[in-house]
Amino acid sequence: MPNAYISGSGMYVPETVIKNDDLKKIYGIDTDHEWIHKRSGIEERRFAPEGVNASDLAVPAAKQAVEDAGIEMKDLDMIIFGTLSPDAIFPGSGVYLQQKLGLCDGPNPNFVPCLDVRNQCSAFIYSLATAASMVKAGGCKNVLIVGAECHSAAMDMSTRGRQVSSLFGDAAAAVVVSQTEEDRGVRGWYLGADGRYADSLCLKGWDMRRRPYIPVGDDDCGRVTPEMMWPYMEGKLVFRNAVERMIQSLMKACSDHEITRDDIDLFLFHQANMRINQYVADQIGIPEDRLVHNLHKYGNTTAATIPLLIAEATRNGKLERGMKVAMVAFGSGFTWGSAIVDW
Ligand SMILES: CC(C)(COP(=O)(O)OP(=O)(O)OC[C@H]1O[C@@H](n2cnc3c(N)ncnc32)[C@H](O)[C@@H]1OP(=O)(O)O)[C@@H](O)C(=O)NCCC(=O)NCCS
């Protein structure tokens, strides 16, 4: 059976930097840098401008990843798009990205399958497991995975929404998972979910039990209450479960592969909260120099966090060929996952 390795990566963050204090200055939110930084480690995040959505952010990241992999768009066999802030209710953002990358154009269009993965902060690990399985099974040679989020469009930027809006930022990052006969690549993964907490971190948007799904006024316009329109998060519950599940996922991935934390050269943790990541690292006994972070610069970019770390770490020399890498994520659902990759 062939192996599946990460052959290239790319990233894109919007230009506009929103510092913690800008949330107060620009949006009038009753918050401050000290509160946000102390509880999360976040210093700033990027917000995309009006007119830009997740598939737009994904285009430069995807182009960079394809180029970095040393292939061309025509060599892609599949697109997997992880996002919780998709362009539309349907279709998925993957088909918009396919169009925008030009895959449908010209005399030899590349009508690859496009799959959207709606697993929020765990989307990258779920996507990697899916891509690696397809590549190892021989069905695909090159799969593009993109994690892209346009959170700034769908957060309550008032004091009412500050618990959520102070944590999240916009970004896109991508990797290509390619087939190889070399002894390297994605060794395995562990995925999990606990649907009992589905409503503990969510954005409802509409109610499909209603007819129609959004209440309509006499003027024929839809009426959405703030409770439906904005994300809801039970912060402390999320925190407790994140810590528990991330530790459990990492331990399981290590035991399945008969390795210990000391065999791992680099840990790529989902970037939701520095206090969560610090607690997990302390409990497992991971030295500081085996972790990379970028949460302070970008905030929580959900599906994009781990590929963003990959794109940065491969470019700044922290992630090199021959390293053993462990990735772990936790998010809404609740869902979680880990993966072991020989780089
Ligand atoms: C969100 C989180 C930082 C909140 O920290 P906390 O210590 O639990 O704070 P609380 O929610 O208890 O809120 C304490 C107070 O701060 C206020 N507060 C919330 N957000 C605030 C902000 N951005 N600025 C200032 N005050 C804020 C609350 O309204 C509350 O005020 P009150 O006591 O008057 O009601 C923390 O729970 C957390 O990090 N959870 C995990 C979130 C996460 O990672 N989500 C993504 C997972 S993928």
Nearest residue (CA) to ligand 1, atom 16:
163
For 98-120, what is the mean pLDDT? 97
Nearest residue (CA) to ligand 1, atom 13:
163
Predicted confidence at residue 286, as pLDDT, reads: 97
Predicted confidence at residue 117, as pLDDT, reads: 98
Q: How confident is the model at residue 237 (pLDDT cuts 50, 70, 90)?
A: very high
**Mapping DSSP to helix (H, G, I), strand (E, B) and coil, where does residue 231 land?**
coil
For residue 275, which amino acid is it?
A: R
> Residue 164 C-alpha to ligand 1 middle, in angstroms?
8
- Which CATH fold topology does 3-182 show? Peroxisomal Thiolase; Chain A, domain 1 (3.40.47)
Nearest residue (CA) to ligand 1, atom 46:
272
Measured from the Cβ of residue 24, the count of other Cβ atoms closer than 10 Å reads: 16
First to last CA, the chain: 18
Retrieve residue 194's tokens. 């606990």
Helices within the chain (DSSP H only): 20-25, 33-40, 54-68, 93-100, 123-136, 162-165, 226-229, 235-256, 274-284, 295-298, 305-315
- Per residue in 274-323, pLDDT (tens digit) is 999 999 999 999 999 999 999 999 999 999 999 999 999 999 999 999 99
Can you give the residue ranges of every domain in the chain? 3-182, 186-199+231-342
The pTM (predicted TM-score) of the whole model is 0.97
- Per residue in 19-55, pLDDT (tens digit) is 999 999 999 999 999 999 999 999 999 999 999 999 9
Residue 295 contacts residue 274 (beta carbons within 8 Å) = yes
* Fold match flag (3-182 vs 186-199+231-342): yes
Residues 6+ apart with CB under 8 A from 169: 13, 18, 45, 46, 47, 149, 151, 152, 298, 299, 300, 301
Predicted confidence at residue 135, as pLDDT, reads: 98
Rounded to whole angstroms, how far apart are CA atoms 1 and 38?
Answer: 48
User: So which residues are the catalytic ones?
Assistant: 121, 270, 300
**Mapping DSSP to helix (H, G, I), strand (E, B) and coil, where does residue 329 land?**
strand
Average pLDDT, the chain: 97
Ligand 1 mutation pick, 21, 22, 39, max ligand atoms within 8 A of CB: 39
Residues whose beta carbon lies within 6 Å of some atom of ligand 1: 31, 35-36, 39-40, 121, 162-163, 166, 235-236, 238-239, 242, 272-273, 276, 300, 330-331
Q: Is the dihedral of CA 258, 262, 263, 268 positive or negative?
A: positive
Q: Which CATH number is correct for 186-199+231-342, 3.30.1280.10, 3.30.70.120, 3.40.50.970, 3.40.47.10?
A: 3.40.47.10
Predicted confidence at residue 215, as pLDDT, reads: 94
Q: How confident is the model at residue 262 (pLDDT cuts 50, 70, 90)?
A: very high
- Per residue in 174-221, pLDDT (tens digit) is 999 999 999 999 999 999 999 999 999 999 999 999 999 999 999 999
Predicted confidence at residue 222, as pLDDT, reads: 94
- Residue 78, strand partner residues: 143
Rounded to whole angstroms, how far apart are CA atoms 220 and 224?
Answer: 13
